[in-house]
Amino acid sequence: MPENSILKGDAFEDDRGILRFVNSFDMTEIVRFYEIEQKGTQIIRGWQGHKLEKKWFYCLSGSFVINIVEIDDFSNPSEHLIPCRIELDSKSPEILAVHNGFATGIKASTSNSRLLVFSNFGLKDSSNDDFRFPKEKWSAVW
């Protein structure tokens, strides 16, 4: 998984509750964020890729499987690319950084899961850098 990384976080608990954090997450590139809440655990969002845009994923509740694949040719990507499977769980605070040049497929593993997505592109620029591929394009483990 070149250039992509998991930023590990931690949690602190006392009599007031739990505080989860990822202090190593540098947000200077972030220009917008949005939240994904899947309607069920059978839905797969993907594949969606970007030549230039970067994304960061944080699981707010529940858990998600995110498959990422490095795109060799955005006009005609190979059928033989192999996705990398990542699991994010709200009980283990961490952020998945997905750099430009990759596509993602997202599936909630548990009901009522919520995923926070950060981007370094505004909506207009993101729309101009959006590449969609069929769910069946690459074989992924969900």
Contact, 96 vs 117, CB < 8 A? no
Q: What digits encode the pLDDT tens for the residues 60-107?
A: 999 999 999 999 999 999 999 999 999 999 999 999 999 999 999 999
Domain 5-132 has CATH 3.90.76.10: no
How far is 82 from 85, CA to CA, in rounded Å? 10
Output the pTM of the full model.
0.94
Place of tokens 């890729």: 49
Residue boundaries of the structural domains of the chain:
5-132
CA–CA distances in Å: residue 91 to residues 11, 18, 26, 60, 81: 9, 10, 21, 9, 31
Q: What DSSP letter does each residue of 88-136 carry, written as one string?
A: EETTB-EEEEE-TTEEEEEEESSTT-EEEEEESS-HHHHHTT-EE--TT
Pair of tokens at residue 19: 């505080």
Is the bond preceding residue 47 a cis peptide, omega within 30 degrees? yes
Q: What digits encode the pLDDT tens for the residues 105-118?
A: 999 999 999 999 99
